Chains A and B, each alone.
Chain A
Amino acid sequence: MTKEEREQRWAEAMRAERRGDAVAYERMLKEVANALRRSLAPRLVRVGLGAHEAEDLVQEILIGLHRKRNTWDPARSFLPWLHTITRYKLIDFMRHRRRDTRRRVDLALEDWVEIVESPADEADCSTWEVDRHLAVLPVSQRKIVRAIAVEGASVRSVAQGLATSEGAVRVTLHRAIRRLLGTADPTPTIEPLPRNAHDKHR
């Protein structure tokens, strides 16, 4: 697909979305995801991040595109709009990762001692432990994860309780789970290589 074809095709799909055409919109999101994956993955590899992170970023961009789709003016071209959002999300993603890395490295002395002494073994089942893990989430995500994953409520009832749509609840849950997986990952996420590579390319 050339750039012009893409512009035309995606702009048409965005217009179709406004008319409620979910099929065209879904097809466009898939194409956008593929294109983003192709263009972002090599860039992330260069700063020492893997395919997993690239996928996270692609999802962030898709969610951003979806939530802000009303700011696209059908009278103007679509690709510049998409590029600006992609760029914003890429920068945001890099900044978050840097901050996350720092937070995970900057532990108090007692925490380091705890890491060295306590054998990381039994599954943490008590509510207190669950709460502690959920504490890394923003309040809105925490509420939804607790309701659905801990208390076992349905997506529909949670959406009604929070007065939002089921789609919004799913998106939030999705993000929260990804974030939790990121934090609970037992393997150290910081290898010396990414940092160096990162600095070199800054």
Chain B
Amino acid sequence: MTSTDDLIRSLARAAGTRRSASLQAAFAVTGAASLACALLLVFSVIGIRQDFADMAVRMPFAFKVVYTGALVVGASVVALYAATPGASATALYALSPAVILLALGVIFDPTGFPIMGRTNTAVFFCVRGILFLSLPAMILTFVFMRKGAPTRPLFAGAVIGMLSASVGALAYTLACKNDGTAFVAIWYAVACAIMAFIGAVVGHRVLRW
């Protein structure tokens, strides 16, 4: 009787104790909570844009919502992929709509607004706002990911960062005063990249199991 047999017996005793709410369900709850937190912060701390009602029916706002929405959906699919061992890598294609929108937004910017935004500080405020709004999502998604089984912690962390930044960006569309599609496409993506970097560094340390 080796120690491995002992171990196996004690593991087998726990059979059936993990009533597994599926990973997808847990993820949906995490996503909803993240978005709710980000919206709460945008209403309470940053404040929505003054001419919101007027702006909300125009093309630039639609582009922002569709672009960030595509990022959220794409990053979510990839996050579930990162949390599941042996999942199919075709999940990575889920990011292509967001990439296409990014390219379209930069190349065919119909608004003609400057890429650096309407004021000198626009880029700084925009990126800072998105990073701030993505913090609750970051924490919640890390908690979710620890329940999953990420076999590439660095990658999983980067995806978490990207997902939280896109949730933050989706909420930030309500406050963003810059309507240039090139501005939105580029700087929202930069915010995602920054959070992805932070997430990778954190994930590398936190997501081992």
Contacts and interface: CB of A to CB of B under 8 A. Distances in A.
Given A22-B15, A26-B15, A167-B11, 16 more contacts: A20-B17, A22-B13, A26-B9, A26-B11, A26-B12, A30-B8, A59-B4, A62-B7, A68-B85, A68-B149, A69-B18, A71-B84, A73-B23, A84-B151, A174-B6, A174-B10
Interface of B: 2-18, 20, 22-23, 83-87, 148-149, 151-152, 208-209
Interface of A: 17-23, 25-26, 29-30, 33, 55, 58-59, 62-64, 66-73, 76-77, 80-85, 87-88, 92, 165, 167, 170-171, 174, 178
A150 B84 CA distance: 39
A170 B23 CA distance: 26
Main secondary structure of the interface of A (DSSP, over half): helix
A59 B3 CA distance: 9
Contacts of A88: 85, 151-152
Nearest to A26: B12
Contacts of B85: 68, 71-72, 80-82, 84-85, 88
Contact of A59 (B7, B17, B152): B7
Nearest to B11: A66
A59 to B, nearest CB: 6
A81 B87 CA distance: 7
A20 B6 CA distance: 19
Contact of A80 (B6, B8, B10, B86): B86
Given A26-B9, A30-B8, A17 B86 contact: no
A18 B10 contact: no
Top 7 nearest A-B pairs (CB, nearest first) are A20-B16, A80-B86, A26-B12, A70-B20, A84-B85, A68-B149, A88-B151
